[in-house]
Amino acid sequence: LAAKLNKAPTEVIKVLMGYGVMAAVNQSIDFDTASIVCEEFGVTCELEDENQAMDDLFDTHYQNEDELVKRPPIITVMGHVDHGKTSLLDAIRHTNVISGEAGGITQHIGAYTIMIKDEKITFIDTPGHEAFTAMRSRGASVTDIAVLVVAADDGVMPQTVEAINHAKDAGVPIIVAVNKIDKPGANPDKVKQELTEYGLVSEDWGGDTICVNISAKKREGIEELLEMILLVAEVEDLKAHPTKKAIGTVIEARLDKQKGTVATLLVKSGVLHDGDIVVCNDVFGKVRAMMDDKGNKVKVAGPSTAIEILGFNEVPGAGEKFFVAENERDGRKYAERRKAIMKENALKKSGPVSLDDLFNQISEGELKELKLIVKADVRGSLEALSQSLEKLNDNDEGVRVSVIHGGVGAIAESDVALAAASNALIIAFNVRPDANAKAMAMKEEVEIRSYNVIYHVMEEIEKALKGLLDPEF
């Protein structure tokens, strides 16, 4: 601070002492203290918004529209357990061996790219909405299109609904893959019928949801599915900068005994070069080696490409955004500052985000939508609750209530993950969180509010919207 103010450290310390803060020369002080000191010197100081700075950096890639080029779509496969997500990813991987390429079978690095009709498509190789949601809760919107796998012999199941709600909340278009059509009991029409209940109306039924019948096992319909993905990607008009320093997301990262930190990065825009200084929140490093999804050593990686790199000083978090720094000194400086800020925030943390917090945001006009996840013991209560809550929007308070996900049964980790990713509150009606969900809610600072009378739910939410909420102790 002294350096920034162009003052001797002793002068700053003297001011601090005047306010009763006995600071040593290398001690951190918080923003409020710093602004008081600055005021004494006639200087105004502003809090730098790190997230904003990062968003701005990402935005610079897309500023000059005429410089942008088309980039391949990035796909996540979602759906209920055992409906064939892994089988579909395998089928896609194997049927699309790029001709002439040695081996061609992909290594598992967390994502892979295939070629179809001279166009590329990149798949996130961890199926399910858990990874999708984890990444979103760190602020990364990695997925361009979600492929929803529904088994034709089983139909829409709880996790199918979860996946639909996750994709919808993220604003990601959905393509439905009706799988296992080779099975004797397969009934694709029944699946389409069930999907209409969740707002997904198939094209052949007059809606705008693309549904493709496939058999991941017999590898039928895969090509058609891929073509449909390209079609939707075309409409989405996905662009990236072809030459700027890379920006993107960490897909996976781990510590390897021999190699050190191994991380898979997905380049969103720009180009990553061997030797670049990559910064990812509080970790950084010089790219020592880059390997593509076929296990080949590469020197550069362009938009929508996944590469495994060595060189980070520590293991970065999956879903964290990365960028390339000018030089090692800048990279280190940024990472160290982030580390200090995170440490300070961790000390400041005071319990979960609660209805009170959300209410405060509402009254300050910061929150325009109160997102809720409703879990209930029986279907009847769930429907009654959801309908009553949505009805609150009829008398306009300026803040919308939206039930982004509803389900019957105990609160699970996936509910908490969705709440964390979308800044939602969980309403528990005659149900409890399971042990894992409870632990996760503590960690992710998600509030679960329990009720056993519908009237009480309505009363509290209404109060929150109107700003009359009593704090809950």
Binding marks (x or -) toward ligand GDP, 91..130, rule CB under 6 A? ------------------------------------x---
Among positions 76, 106, 137, 179, the unique one binding ligand GDP when judged by CB under 6 A = 179
Asked if 223 is part of the footprint of ligand GDP (rule: CB under 6 A), the reply reads no
Residues 6 or more apart whose CB falls under 8 angstroms from that of 230 comprise: 73, 116, 117, 119, 121
**467 is an annotated ligand-binding site residue:** no
Rg for the chain (alpha carbons), in Å? Answer: 25
Q: How many CB atoms lie within 10 A of CB 101?
A: 11
Q: For residue 254, which amino acid is it? A: R
Among positions 106, 159, 202, 215, the unique one binding ligand GDP when judged by CB under 6 A = 215
3-state secondary structure of 418: helix
Among positions 70, 138, 168, 217, the unique one binding ligand GDP when judged by CB under 6 A = 217
Q: Which two tokens stand for residue 341?
A: 């800020």
Q: Nearer to ligand GDP by C-beta: 181 or 370? A: 181
Q: Nearer to ligand GDP by C-beta: 127 or 285? A: 127
Among positions 83, 241, 286, 375, the unique one binding ligand GDP when judged by CB under 6 A = 83
DSSP state of 271: B
First to last CA, the chain: 40
Among positions 40, 130, 182, 223, the unique one binding ligand GDP when judged by CB under 6 A = 182
Total interface residues for ligand GDP by CB under 6 A: 16
Rounded to the nearest 10°, the torsion over CA 380, 385, 391, 396 is -170
Separation in Å, CA 281 to CA 44, 54, 168, 190, 430: 27, 10, 28, 47, 40
**125 is an annotated ligand-binding site residue:** yes
**181 is an annotated ligand-binding site residue:** yes
Q: How far apart are CA 309 and CA 307, in angstroms?
A: 6
Q: How many CB atoms lie within 10 A of CB 32?
A: 8
**313 is an annotated ligand-binding site residue:** no
Asked if 438 is part of the footprint of ligand GDP (rule: CB under 6 A), the reply reads no
Among positions 81, 342, 435, 453, the unique one binding ligand GDP when judged by CB under 6 A = 81
Nearest in space to 462 (alpha carbons), one of 360, 370, 361: 370
Q: How far apart are CA 341 and CA 281, in angstroms?
A: 10
Q: Nearer to ligand GDP by C-beta: 179 or 422? A: 179
The stretch near ligand GDP (CB under 6 A) out of 22-30, 80-88, 155-163, 202-210 is 80-88
Among positions 61, 71, 180, 268, the unique one binding ligand GDP when judged by CB under 6 A = 180
Q: Write down the least CB distance from residue 137 to ligand GDP, Å.
A: 22
Binding site residues, ligand GDP, CB under 6 A: 79, 81-87, 127, 179-180, 182-183, 215-217
The annotated binding site for GTP is made up of: 79-86, 125-129, 179-182
